[in-house]
Amino acid sequence: MNPPVSQQYNEENKLPHFVISDVWYFDDNTDECFPAKVELFGYSFKIETYKSGKPYNTIRGSRNLATSTDMSFSYRIIESDGTTVTLDETICGKLRLSVANFKILKAYFDEKNVVDIQAERVFKNEILSLLPKLLSNSVLMQLVSNFIENVPTAICIDPTLIICTESLIAIHAHRGNIGNSLFLSDELQRSAVTKLVRTEVKTSPINTTIREGFHVNHEEIIKPYLDDGFFLLVNFLKDRIRNVESIKAIYLTYVFLYKAMIRYFSQKWASEYDAYFVNIGDLTLSEAIQQYCLIETINPNNLQTAGIFIYYLIDHGKFEGDNYLLCFNLFVQQLNPILERQKAENFANKIKKPLVNRTYTINDIDLMNGQEFEQFLADLFSKIGYETAVTKGSGDQGIDVIASKGGIKIGIQAKCYSGSVGNGAIQEAVAGRNYYHLDKAIVVTNSEFTNSAKELAEANSVVLWDRTILKDKITELW
């Protein structure tokens, strides 16, 4: 039988005290927040609060629950802003403390919660032991690949959406932290998106400047994905795997799905850009990223392009481990300096070039007719090392310029418009790519693309250069 709290407190008070200062304590009785100091000893605690720099109140107690054999410390992260963490159900009341002090507090809790920690490890090992059988099942792999094909790419690529999704799955599983170590994110990252899962996703808790492409609402993409996709997949797989309880099925499905994503997106990248990475096995991570930045037909800062390439790098063992979120950070840390060096080199090359009679601005492009714009794009691709040929007017089959380099043939459709470019241009480019047996199709415009055109281009692997990208190319080359 557990001793009374006061007796336990008195006994454990003789143990060495573990002290954390610089803590804020929320007093529910007064609805005030006070600076405080927390002392831990065994399963007991003392919280001293201060007001106007003077001792104000002392809260004492023990974690020994008379109604349970549970002797563990528990906590719930309410939110985190990357600097501080707010905890509830922690010791006694609500605490706010720095991330560094939270990690110290958690380490103390983990030391005391050895039974829970061991249960988490056993659960994780059970899940991972089932994984190889699923990955070696070609039928299941194809079914899951079909599933990935039909979900929003942003769910698999955008770090913020990944963390939001994991946060909601953890809430749905409602079994403590039993399987959360199987997620890509940690609890601090998930707590940082607590508000984001209810509102528009605007910023990422991941250190990145790559934010082009995905600004979506949780209600529009994550919840439908979970309700009408992921949890249906959980039930689908559960029916095909014997003796797997529901909680295990959720985490097993998530891990299996992630491993399948690595293969799926790696193959997707290889199908389009493998010619640029024939020696991928010999390249370091930095060298692979440099090669990535040299592909003229992509925008290296585009989140979707970068994300798919990261999966490709993971699949080829270019990172230590295969955690997409960690790999994303490492990728960005190396990408940004490379792009800055390229920018500096392009500027230096530009000012070193002898003056020539002809230069272009985007305003010049706006005044061109269709044939002039086609010739301009042929000249542009010639400047970046391609052999180019303008196709024949009305018989061009949807491709206006063909550019070739290193065995790679690119078809370019030119759209010198004053309005937005729609689906028709994408359909023509796809038809032209097939007709001329090209490796890649690009639609280039001095204007913008409709959202529908962007979606169709993504579905058909057509590269889009809009006014912004075209201006950047002009500035770089002329």
DSSP string, 205-267: SS--S--BS---BHHHHHHHHIIIIIHHHHHHHHTTSTT--HHHHHHHHHHHHHHHHHHHHHH
Architecture of domain 362-477 in this structure:
3-Layer(aba) Sandwich (3.40)
What's the pLDDT score for residue 394?
55
pLDDT-based confidence at residue 188 (cuts at 50, 70, 90): confident
Every domain of the chain with CATH number 3.40.1350.10 lies at: 362-477
Structure token digits, residue 109: 């809790």
Give yes or no for residue 213 having a pLDDT over 50. no
CATH 2.30.29 residue spans of the chain: 5-112
Contact 473, 443 (CB under 8 A): no
Task: Please state, in angstroms and rounded to a whole number, the distance separating the CA atoms of residues 416 and 413.
Answer: 10
Q: What residues does 412 pair with on adjacent strands?
A: 401, 442
Backbone φ and ψ for 418, nearest 5 degrees, come out as -100, -20
Could you read off the pLDDT of 60-86 as tens digits, one per residue? 888 764 444 455 677 778 888 778 988
Q: Is the pLDDT of residue 175 over 70?
A: no
Residues 155-176: what's their mean pLDDT? 86
Chain centre to alpha carbon of residue 155 = 8
Domain 5-112, what fold? PH-domain like (2.30.29)
pLDDT digits (tens, 9 = 90+) for 349-396: 767 666 555 577 888 888 898 889 999 999 999 988 899 999 876 556
Mean pLDDT of the chain: 85
Q: Is the pLDDT of residue 145 over 70?
A: yes
